[in-house]
Structure 1
């Protein structure tokens, strides 16, 4: 499946004028440690699948979902079974300021497994199936609808993350969000605890 590997960097081979690549993968093949500029979503359909991502091992069961952010080192062990592996060009999301808060979902790997909210897991699984159907029956608007569904998938994860944080005081949550945003925008500078305390 990896066609162009230079060291640990994979160049994703999209079809001309497209920015989505989906494999209905049944290869019993090991994929070495690599990274690419695509968002990768993996969902095993039959049998589990073991992935190493950002130095951590994830054991995916059937219908679990793993989202690997662009630029993240990851690898997959050789295993029998069937899984969907989806690659989405990262640029259309990462470079859009309107999607800044949504893009924060992709700051680190996301695993939606059996311990996750079952309604969320089913909802995301259905979106992935819809994306696969659009990709398989490709026409002039398919990629537009695929990206709409990808954004919907990320938005549902973000909503779930927000609802999991239960604060009684919404002003506290808003202030905390502004501090996180400040850290994300200024992480390369020497941020002190006193600076953040003054903001709060």
Structure 2
């Protein structure tokens, strides 16, 4: 891998100051090389190396600045051009294909604490799959997202105090920008009067926060509908409109996301992980995991090539 660094076409500020080190992947699980107790990693990557299918608990953002970069996630290939942005959610198995030459910034963040913030539950659906942000796909917010990432990069490579706090504040701003863009461009409750829309959004944020706090327990549609104050019929319809997912699909998504993190701990058995994340049986866990991730929990833990 050292030879790849030497092949960089020129040494500019970011190349000279990058703290890039070889990526550490063991049985398809990547250990993020955060530096000096940080939970943020940004590096200027000009290596012409491919990375086989792998996953990690960090959020990853890829931003090419010279030549393209390819990524495959959930059986979908993303051809990322300079100036475009790809956001890979935590736990997503993906692989990266580099051209013979090129440069790109790679951002990695531990967002485990951010996801616990009140209101973040409303953004969960945005992180259910990768986001390819371009001037065409996100015209209203593309420039804002690009500027936020450039500010993060400048802070990371700068010498200012509190740079990690600043970077996380910018990352929160990025999430809010994505969330508000979704709310502004989708009529979440088309049959609800305008003055009721905000009330419904707040109510369903509360519902999602409740599910996120109790997903390990036995939750039923009747229970959550009662908690929301809606009839089961209206709750089912409104929940689908708000999250673009059924209640049981969202509950399964939440449980599988929790299981992804636990699968990185080799001391836990698959059965222990299934029961601790709310599944009633190992067979149900295996079936739903396979549906969502295209591989079994054991394959996810060791090797999964999305066949």
TM-score category of the 2 structures, normalised to the smaller one: 0.7 to 0.9
After TM superposition, give the deviation of residue 123 of structure 1 in Å: 1.1
Equivalent residue number for residue 125 of structure 1: 146
Q: Distance in 1 between matches of 2:210 and 2:165?
A: 33
Report the 3-state secondary structure (helix = DSSP H, G, I; strand = E; otherwise coil) of the residue aligned with 2:95: strand
1:146 correspondence with 2:172: no
Report the 3-state secondary structure (helix = DSSP H, G, I; strand = E; otherwise coil) of the residue aligned with 2:141: helix
The C-alpha deviation readout for 1:12-68, integer Å capped at 9, x for no partner, is: 010122111011111111011111111111111111211111221111121111111
- How many residues align? The count is 199
Contact 2:72-2:78 within 8 A present in 1 as well: yes
Contact 1:69-1:109 within 8 A present in 2 as well: yes
100-109 or 26-35: bigger deviation:
100-109
Equivalent residue number for residue 21 of structure 1: 41
174-183 or 104-113: bigger deviation:
174-183
1:48 is aligned, of 43, 65, 68, to 68
Q: 1:184 to 1:27 in 2, by over 3 A?
A: farther
Report the 3-state secondary structure (helix = DSSP H, G, I; strand = E; otherwise coil) of the residue aligned with 2:87: strand
2:122 is aligned, of 80, 101, 104, to 101
1:12 is aligned, of 29, 32, 40, to 32
Equivalent residue number for residue 178 of structure 1: 204
After TM superposition, give the deviation of residue 82 of structure 1 in Å: 1.1
1:162 correspondence with 2:189: no
Report the 3-state secondary structure (helix = DSSP H, G, I; strand = E; otherwise coil) of the residue aligned with 1:10: strand
Equivalent residue number for residue 86 of structure 2: 66
Return the structure number with greater helix share: 2
TM-score (norm 1): 0.85
Q: Distance in 1 between matches of 2:221 and 2:22?
A: 40
126-135 or 158-167: bigger deviation:
158-167
Q: Distance in 2 between matches of 1:135 and 1:150?
A: 13
Unpaired segments ≥5 residues, structure 1: none
Cα-Cα RMSD: 2.8
The C-alpha deviation readout for 1:120-168, integer Å capped at 9, x for no partner, is: 1111111111100000014430000000001111111111111111347
36-45 or 164-173: bigger deviation:
164-173
TM-score (norm 2): 0.57
Q: Distance in 1 between matches of 2:185 and 2:119?
A: 23
Contact 2:121-2:208 within 8 A present in 1 as well: no
Contact 2:121-2:209 within 8 A present in 1 as well: no
Contact 2:67-2:103 within 8 A present in 1 as well: yes
Unpaired segments ≥5 residues, structure 2: 1-20, 226-230, 239-307
Equivalent residue number for residue 34 of structure 1: 54
Return the structure number with greater strand share: 1
Q: Distance in 1 between matches of 2:209 and 2:41?
A: 34
Q: 1:138 to 1:70 in 2, by over 3 A?
A: farther
